[in-house]
Amino acid sequence: MSIVLYGIDMSPPVRACLVTLKALEVPFEYKVINLGTGENRTPEFLKMNPQGTVPVLDDNGIIVTDSHAICIYLCEKYAKTDALYPKDLLKRTEVNQRLFFDASVIYKALWNVSSVFWMRGITEVTKERTDNVHGALRLTETLLEKPYIAGDTVTIADFCCAATVSSVPAVFDIDEQKYPRITAWLARLSELPYFEKYNNAGAKEYSTFMRSQWTKVEL
């Protein structure tokens, strides 16, 4: 058996896991789950993840769900060094803080916009929702005091946060003048040999699709 990641390229959490797998140079099989046809609601999939969400990692029978948990698991088990997920308590705490920030602030703000479409078919985005996204970006901009989101080197916190932030153009373009640190950070990450293929391509696909669905976006 081998490691299998279940997901879809348009999903920011899935892309964070793809980038982590490539960064760690871990061989894996990628199985695309068609959310539109309900492949995530089949009895087989729900047995792995009762939430019916992607990503899901199957590591030879060990099932891990939630992108942040998957990225941590992969580093703990397969990393040759602790660069992506430091063992030093203070450094690891900072990485963890950023992972929780992604889950509770950045991704939540983006999901609050897209969920009304996915869950209820609503194609108008209110100013309240775009304001929430801008609020998340402003906090991200503030946290980027150093080259990367958790310090001077790349960690899985960058992979998770950047997968979400790079999907913001699904709602509106990221203003380089307003968010210069974010712009520079995403450009830095894009220089990684695996980032363009395993994150940026999916982010562009997601953004293009979502922008085609909106009938009105209040900025």
167 as an active site residue: the answer is no
Burial class (CB in 10 A: 0-12, 13-18, 19+), 75: buried
Q: Which residues belong to the active site?
A: 11
